[in-house]
Every structure is written in C-alpha cells, then in structure tokens.
Amino acid sequence: MLQIKNLRLGFTRDSQLLVAVDGISFTVAAGETFALLGESGCGKSATAQGIMRLLPTNGRISAGSSIQFDGQELLTLSEAEMRSVRGKRLAMIFQEPATSLNPVLSVGRQIGEVLVRHLGLTGAAARQRMIALLRQVGIADPERRLDEYPFQLSGGMKQRVMIAMALAGEPDLLIADEPTTALDVTVQAQILDLLAQLQIDRGMAILLITHDLGVVARMAQRIGVMYAGELVEVASREDFFERPRHPYTQALFAALPDIRRRGQALTTIPGQVPALDAMPAACRFAGRCNQVMTVCQQISPEWRIVSAGHQLRCHWTGAAEIPAATPRLALSEQASESPAFLSVDALQVHFPIRRGLLQRTVGQVRAVDGVALTISAGRTLALVGESGCGKTTVGKALLQLIKPTGGSVKLGGTELVGLKAKRLRAARRHMQMIFQDPFASLNPRLRVGEIIAEGMSALGIERHGAAQRTAVAALLLQVGLPAGAAERYPHEFSGGQRQRIAIARALAVQPELLVCDEPTSALDVSVQAQILNLLKNLQEELGVAYLFITHNFAVVEYLAHDVAVMYLGRIVERGKTEEILRTPRHPYTRALLSAVPAPTLDTHPAAIRLAGEAPSPANPPSGCHFHPRCPQAQDICRQSDPHTTHLSQTHAVNCHFVS
C-alpha cells in the first residue's frame, strides 16, 4: 500500500540544506503495522510529515525520492489533489494534540470538517457519527464534549479527539506518531484495541512511530529502527525481539528498566544523536557504539541480509545478544517500619467552583480526598494512577505549593499545614520538587548557574559568589553535566539534559525529600536510563527519599520500594512493590497492571477493560468512588465507603470484597 524509495528530505538554513532523513526505503502492506523506532532527533516524525506532504515552509524533499501510495506517486500531486488524499485515504495522528487542535473551534466543528469534506455527512447524521467516534475512543459523555473546546479537555482527552479526527475519514493508511504517549495504560490499551480491530475490519495499514517497545510488541508485524536520519535495521517482530542484531537496537533493549535489573545500573548509550549540521561521514552510530571498529569511522556500512525479512546496516558481525547488565548497585532495602520521615494523614485539597456575577461558591472539586501515606528516609514511594486522579496535586500539597483544605503533613516530626510563612520557607530546604516538564519549569532568561544558585541564595546557603560557583559546578558534575554548562541557557540543552538541570536545582539546597513528578515520561529509553541511574545513585549516596509520581510501571518495578495506587483523590491500595505488582488485590490495581504492554513476545492475559473514564472530582460517586467502572460492584459499593483491610503489615486495600 505504501512504498517509500530513497526518501531524502531536510530543512534549509542560510541557503544550506540540513538533511534530516537520508535515503530511507521501506514498505507497508494493507492490514500491516510497520513500526519506526529510534531516539528523538532520528527523523521519525520528519519522515511522517514528508509522507503527508506537511513539511514546514523550509522543508525540502530532494529529487530522486519516491512516495507511492496504492500505486500513485504522491510527490507529483498538486496541493489540491493532495487534499483529496490527505484525511480521506491517508490520515495522521500527530504527536502533540495541544498544538494540532484549533483552540477557537469546538471539538464537534473540527471532527465535522473531516466528515463534510470526505464523507459528505452533515446535520444530525454527522453529529451521530461524531458521537460514535468519541465513544469509540473512550470519551465519556460525548454529546457534551462535542460542544466543548480543546482547552476544556485534559491532555489524554485531546489525544483521543485527535485519534477520532484521524479515524473519521475511514483512512486506508493511518500514520500514528506517538499516539499513546500522553495516555494512561488503561486508555492506551483501549486505543490499541480499537486500532487493531479497525485493521481487521477494514484492512487498514498503520505506520506506527513510537519509542515504547511494549506497544511495538503488541501492535507491529515489522519494525524499522532509525538512527540519525537513516534506517539501520529492519526485521520481523519475532526477529526483532528474539535476535536484535544492530548494536543500537541491542542498546535500546538493555536500557529498559524492569524487575530483573532492579539491583543493577541500567545500560546507557553515551552521548546523543548528532546534530543535523554535524553528521558523521561514515557510520553515524560509531561515536556511541560499544562495538566500534576502525572501518566504522571510515566507511558507511551497506545493507546486508541476516535472514528472510531481517536486514541491517552494520560492519560488526558479532553474536546477536543484548549487552550484559552493568555492575550491581547497592539497593537500599531498609525495613519499611523504620521511622517515617514524611507522614501524611487525611490530606484534603478541595478547589471551590464559583459561578455567577458575584462568583459564589456552588460546589467543590475534591482533587485530594483523605490521602494517607508515609515515606522513610532513603526509600522511594511510587504514586500511580490515571490522569486526573490527583497525584500531582498531592505532590504540590506536600510542599505547601497548594494550600491543603485539611489533614496533616509532617516532615521529620514538624507539622507543615498551617505553618507560618517564615518557618515554611525554612522547611522547604528539606523538600524539593522535580516538575514534569523541565523546559517549562526552568527560567529561559537565566543561565543554568543562576537557576541552580537561586535556591541557595533564597535559603541562605553558600551566599558568597565564589563558594556558590564552586557548589554549582560540583552539582553539575554530580548530575553528569560539565561545569561549563553553568554559563549556558536552558534552550541550549536536550530534554534529558534539562531534566538533569532540574534535578541539580532541586539538590542545591540539600533536601531530604524529592517529589519527582513524571521525571522520565517525555524521555527516550536511553535518556530515561541515565536519569534513573542518577536518581538511584543519589539515593544511595545522600539518603534522599523520593515520592515518585508516574504511570510507567516498568520504572516502578525498577526504582520503587513501596507503591500507593490512587483513584479519584483517594488511595485504594498500598504496599511494598512486590506485593502490589505481584499480588494486586484491588480491582482498579489489577486493571492498571493488566493493561501494561510488555516489551516481550510472551503471551499475556487479556487486559481488564474499564467502562468509560474516571468521574469528575467535582461530582464524585457515592460510596466507593470506583464502583461505576468496577466489574465486581454490588449494592454495598454504591452505598458506603470501603474500610481499609490490612492483608499484612505493609499491604492495605480499600475494597469491600478484598477477602
């Protein structure tokens, strides 16, 4: 259905063409899913934009390139002809829905454009089709959502609207650029099921762009690995997971966190993808490869066939094996009953709903509704749950960045709720937060050295210039950055490097507690491995306690000592990592874990599907908050809150039927 031959494209800068995709070729058959893998900056999204003819104004596709769709050459079509193909026969789910949806048009208007243009549907028929599409992608109350605007939707809901728009024209080929990155595992499983079913029903082909090997294992029949604008390995699903041959592919597998590497440092790939204006002339991976030879730095490798359907570009012909794990780290396993450094009890955060001319309070959004948890020094508590359940609000309330409505937060025996501003300022030295988006949380007008030193100055640590500069240099080295980085600005760094800067800033005041809000969610597996190794090393060296907010269960398995599962403002299950992940007892925990795609070929039990989405915290259900979606719900669940059942000294569950 899709045949790419020698695709070469780039972007002009000062009359120079910077090549982003350099002569790649592949095919996608009807009903097949072909996955493109690789780190950020490898050219995956540029390839997708080139196929759709949606490159920016400085984008150029070089002569000699060919993109044939169902036998038709797309590069020779006029823009008017391309518009009849794009959206109807060829559709795309973009990586960032917030910038891809029109902020001044309602959801219904934007989906309706596709239906009018390509299917000729209008009026009531179009509205019924739009409602069905939104229901298909798991949006509750679709009739109301059609009349809302993108700013009224969460990130995950915006992504689902994008998917509904892409499917509205009933395309023959769907290009999905990181379609599930912003979604929880439950919604991700629902979307992947939907795409797989559409393939069966309509023979739809999918070009899947992702860095999630679990999604690849579940969806793809063939995989292409991209590095620095080139394809370096193409293999069937079985060969890719059982016999990866290229050193880059093997390094990606070795960087994955899981329980088997819990006490080991994750393998990392040194350096980063070369910039477009500094591409090596020979093998582009040679500077980061652990199997590099002299020939790699002199001659670009040619394609060679390993077996039927499996080929790669590499001079090295060694054994096909994932690199051995690096030396074991000393993983702290202090007894969980040791004195709690942080103790939280009955924490509540309610936001008023105001309406009318006088802005009277007409209700409350119960974002956090009675949370209790403890963290001991040197241990990591993972807080998991779907988007909108209140995880980030808990983290900010602990630091008093959001004022709690009620409850208690004790840090080292000191009550923080209601503490006077001056004493609270001093207490903040002992606790810091690493925010989810490092670029948004770093001041773009300050140099990195000034950003890190800001906390020192505010809290009276190392006030003198020379001592402060020395401390900043030491912190940068501690997080794996050169001391010279202090003189540069945030925009000059990659995403992983900015996350390291955010960690250095948090460590500058020598805290005993770090609240880490999805610190690896937007990172490639190679950069994620670097950050996880860094956090683990810092915990061993400094005894820092972590509250780790995440929806990545592989990271939870690797890093966390304890887990708390949160749903609609409440903790529904908590215990040691092994207890929660191996013997989950709450229906919600079991549903979350069943939906996690594993990066293996092993068969896994079918995911437990939850009906709809989490209710609004402004109008939570009576009784157990989970009962509208729970497959085991009975009358008692609708009438009364479940009490806490202690299954062991460390494992507790809030469910009427846990026994």
What DSSP string runs through 311-373? EEE-S------PPPPPPBP------TTSPEEEEEEEEEEEEEEEETTTTEEEEEEEEEEEEEE
What is the reported pLDDT for 9? 95
Sign of the torsion formed by the C-alpha atoms of 64, 70, 71 and 75: negative
User: Which whole number is the average pLDDT over 492-517?
Assistant: 88
What is the reported pLDDT for 323? 54
- pLDDT tens per residue, range 457-468: 888 787 778 889
Q: Which two tokens stand for residue 143?
A: 């009739």
What is the reported pLDDT for 132? 93
Pairing of strands 340-355, 360-376: antiparallel
Share of the chain above pLDDT 90, in %: 59
- The per-type count for the chain, helices as H runs and strands as E runs, is 22, 25
Q: Let me know: does 301 contact 313? Beta carbons within 8 Å.
A: yes
What is the reported pLDDT for 324? 54
- Interatomic CA distance for residues 17 and 345, integer angstroms: 59
Backbone torsions φ then ψ of 112, nearest 5 degrees: -60, -30
Q: Which residues contact 84 (CB under 8 A, 6 or more apart)?
A: none
Q: Let me know: does 304 contact 224? Beta carbons within 8 Å.
A: no
Q: Which residues contact 296 (CB under 8 A, 6 or more apart)?
A: 282, 283, 286, 289, 315, 316
CATH fold, domain 368-654, is Rossmann fold (3.40.50)
**Would you put residue 385 in left (φ > 0), alpha (ψ -120 to 50) or beta?**
left
Q: Let me know: does 251 contact 323? Beta carbons within 8 Å.
A: yes
What is the reported pLDDT for 406? 94
User: Which whole number is the average pLDDT over 180-197?
Assistant: 81
- Interatomic CA distance for residues 24 and 12, integer angstroms: 19
- pLDDT tens per residue, range 312-349: 999 998 765 555 545 544 444 444 456 789 999 999 99
- Interatomic CA distance for residues 590 and 605, integer angstroms: 11
Domains of the chain by residue range: 368-654
- For the entire predicted model, the pTM comes to 0.84
Least confident of 139-153, 215-229, 440-454, 639-653: 139-153
What is the reported pLDDT for 330? 46
- The chain-wide mean pLDDT, for the chain, equals 89
- Interatomic CA distance for residues 430 and 408, integer angstroms: 17
- Give SS3 for 242: helix
First to last CA, the chain: 53
- If 0-12 CB within 10 Å is exposed, 13-18 middle and 19+ buried, where does residue 151 land? exposed
What is the reported pLDDT for 332? 46
Residue 307 has pLDDT above 70, yes or no: yes
- Interatomic CA distance for residues 523 and 506, integer angstroms: 19
User: Which whole number is the average pLDDT over 235-262?
Assistant: 88
- pLDDT tens per residue, range 527-554: 888 889 888 988 988 899 999 998 888 8
Sign of the torsion formed by the C-alpha atoms of 123, 126, 129 and 131: negative
What is the reported pLDDT for 516? 93
For residue 581, CA distances in Å to 466, 557, 590 come to 49, 8, 9
560, containing H or E segment: none
- Interatomic CA distance for residues 624 and 642, integer angstroms: 6
